Amino acid sequence: MAKYIIKRLLAGLISLWVLITITFFLMHSIPGGPFSPAEERKIPPEVLAKIEASYGLDKPLYIQYVNYLNNLLHGDLGISFKDRDTLVNDLIERGFPVSARVGIVAVIISLCIGVPLGIISAIYKTKWIDRASMIFATIGISIPGFVITVLMMFFFCVKFKIFPTFGLSSPLHYVLPVAGLSFYPIAYITRLLRSSMLETMRQDYIRTARSKGVKEIMVIAKHALRNSLMPVVTYLGPLIAGLLTGGFVVERLFSIPGIGREFVSSVGDRDYSVTLGITVFYGAFIIIANLCVDILYVIIDPRVKVEE
C-alpha cells in the first residue's frame, strides 16, 4: 500500500507541474497584462516600466517561470498584482474556509438526494418515478449550473423575495448557493448510480441471493448497492475538490467571499499570481482527493487489488 501511495503521489506531482506550466504560459500569452488599464490611463511608459520591474515582469518569460517554481517550492504563491498588500497565501487561507463551508453542505446534499434517487430509479425501472428521476437528471446535466442559479435568483430573490441574494450571514443565505452547486452533482450521481445498479442487478450472484430466499431489501443493500457504488466513489474525488474549493460562478453571483470568486476576478484582471496560486491549490486538492478515493476503493471492495 505504501509503495502504491508513493507512486500515485509522484504521478500527481507530475500532473500538477504540467498544470502549472500550461497555466503559466497561457496566462502570459494573453494580449495585454496586469497593468493594461494603466496603459489606457496613459501613464508614462517609464512609470509603467518601473511598476512591471517591481513585480519581475520585465524579465524574460523563462526566468519568470523558473522564479515562480522556486518560490512555489518554498510555499510562496506570490503577491497579488492588483493589491500589493495581499499575499496569495493569505487570500486562499481567508477564502477557502468560506468556500468549504458551502461546499461541504453541497456535497452532503448531493449524496443524500442523488444516491436515493439513483437507487429508487433502478428499483422501479420504467415506472413513473424512474421517468421523473431521469427527466430531472437530464435537465440537471444538460443545463449549465449558472443558468439554473440565475433562474433561481430571479424567481426566489427578485420575484418572490424568499431568499437573500448575497452573503452567508444566516442559514437562508446558504439555500440558493448550495442548490446551485449541488444541482448538477445530484443529476449526475442519479444517472451514474441507476446505470451501475441496473448492471449489478443482472449479475448471477444477485439471482443466487434471491433464489436462496434472501429478502429483497437485503439483496439491494448488501449486494447490489455496495457493488454499484464504485462509479460514485470515483466521482467523489473531483466532486469534493470542486465544491470545497468554490463554485466559481456561483460565488461570484452571490458575492460569497470564497476563492472561487477571487479566481474569476483574477482571470478578468489578468492577476497572474492569484490565478496561478488558486490553480495550484485546486490541482493539489484534486490530487489528494483522488488519492483518498483510490484508498477508499480497497475499503469498500476488498477484491480490488492494489498494484505494488
pLDDT per position as a tens digit, 155-184: 988 888 888 878 787 888 889 999 988 989
Q: CATH assignment of 97-258, given 1.10.8.100, 1.20.120.530, 1.10.3720.10, 1.10.10.10?
A: 1.10.3720.10
Q: Are 64 and 57 in contact (CB under 8 A)?
A: yes
pLDDT-derived band at 41, boundaries 50, 70, 90: low
pLDDT-derived band at 39, boundaries 50, 70, 90: very low
Question: What tens digit of pLDDT does each residue of 28-38 get?
Answer: 787 766 666 54
Task: Look up residue 230 and give its three cell numbers.
Answer: 464504485
Segment 40-51 shows an average pLDDT of: 67
Alpha-carbon distance values, 174 to 72, 99, 166, 170, 222 (Å): 34, 11, 9, 7, 35
Alpha carbons 123 and 117: distance in angstroms, whole number: 10
Residues facing residue 79 across a β-bridge:
87
Residues facing residue 190 across a β-bridge:
none
Q: Are 200 and 228 in contact (CB under 8 A)?
A: yes
Alpha carbons 9 and 75: distance in angstroms, whole number: 18
pTM: 0.80
Alpha carbons 189 and 234: distance in angstroms, whole number: 11
Sign of CA dihedral 218, 305, 244, 27: negative
Task: Look up residue 108 and give its three cell numbers.
Answer: 452532503
Q: What's the chain's average pLDDT?
A: 82
The domain spans of the chain are 97-258
